[in-house]
Structures are given as C-alpha cells and as structure tokens.
Amino acid sequence: MKHIKYKILLALFLISLISSLVLSIIPVPTICDPGVGCDVVHYSVYNFTFGVQNSYYGVVIFGFLVTLTALQIKKPSKEKKLLIHLAVILGSIISIYFLYIQHFVLNTYCRYCLIVDFSMLVSLAVILIKWKE
C-alpha cells in the first residue's frame, strides 16, 4: 500500500485537529464536569503558552500538518517529509511535557488533551517504525 505511513499520520493529525477544535470552540463546562478533568486543565496556568490558549496552537499546527501530509501523499518530497518528521518529533516532546503536567502537577486528565498527546506519540512510533520509507 503506497504512502501508508502518511495516510496513518494524516488520520492521526485529523483526530488531533478535531480535538483541538472541540477545546477551542465548545465551552469547557459543556464538555466536562466542573472541577475535574478538562475543567481543571483548561483553567490552569498550563493551558496558555505566551498568552495564547494551547488548543488554538493545536488548531493552527494540526491544520498545517493535515495540509502538508495530504500534499506529501499527492506529491512526495524530501522537504515535506523532513518537515513532517521534525514536527512529529517536536510535538511528541511537547506531548510528553503536557502528560507530565497532567499526571504529576494537576493530578487530573483532559480527555481531549490525551487524544492529542497520544496521537502525537503514536505518530512518533509510526515515523520510527517506517523511518526508511
């Protein structure tokens, strides 16, 4: 199957984009119980980077990665491959940091954040397994 690696990555990026959109658009009290999970994570200081809500970064970054990966499937290039790989590696490092924050600092989890974090880690596994491709 041609481009299977990029098709898997595209699916994972789409899942992450949808989760980021949910956190960006839908008010947190309608998707989470007050005082637990998403609510605690959303209203923590860790939800913002440089004054911008992390889910907004997710929408932009995953929107870009979905587009870039679709273009890679249609017309492969070494430059796009490198950019996708670098984004996944950096994103995985950030995901590990956010998992650490949720587990050890906040002691609670946001289900939508977990979807994004684990999607990035699965993306890293796909890239490492299919490195030569």
- The CA distance from 61 to 125, in Å, is 19
pLDDT tens over the chain, length 133 residues = 578 999 999 999 999 999 999 999 999 888 888 888 888 999 999 999 999 999 999 999 999 999 999 999 999 999 999 999 999 999 999 999 999 999 999 999 999 999 999 999 999 999 999 776 6
Please give the tally of structural domains in the chain.
1
Residue 65 is part of a domain; what is its CATH number? 1.20.1440.130
**Unique residue bearing structure tokens 């898997």:** 8
Residue 56 structural domain: 4-129
The burial class, CB within 10 Å (0-12 / 13-18 / 19+), for 96 is middle
Q: Considering the entire predicted model, what is its pTM? A: 0.93
* pLDDT confidence of residue 11: 98
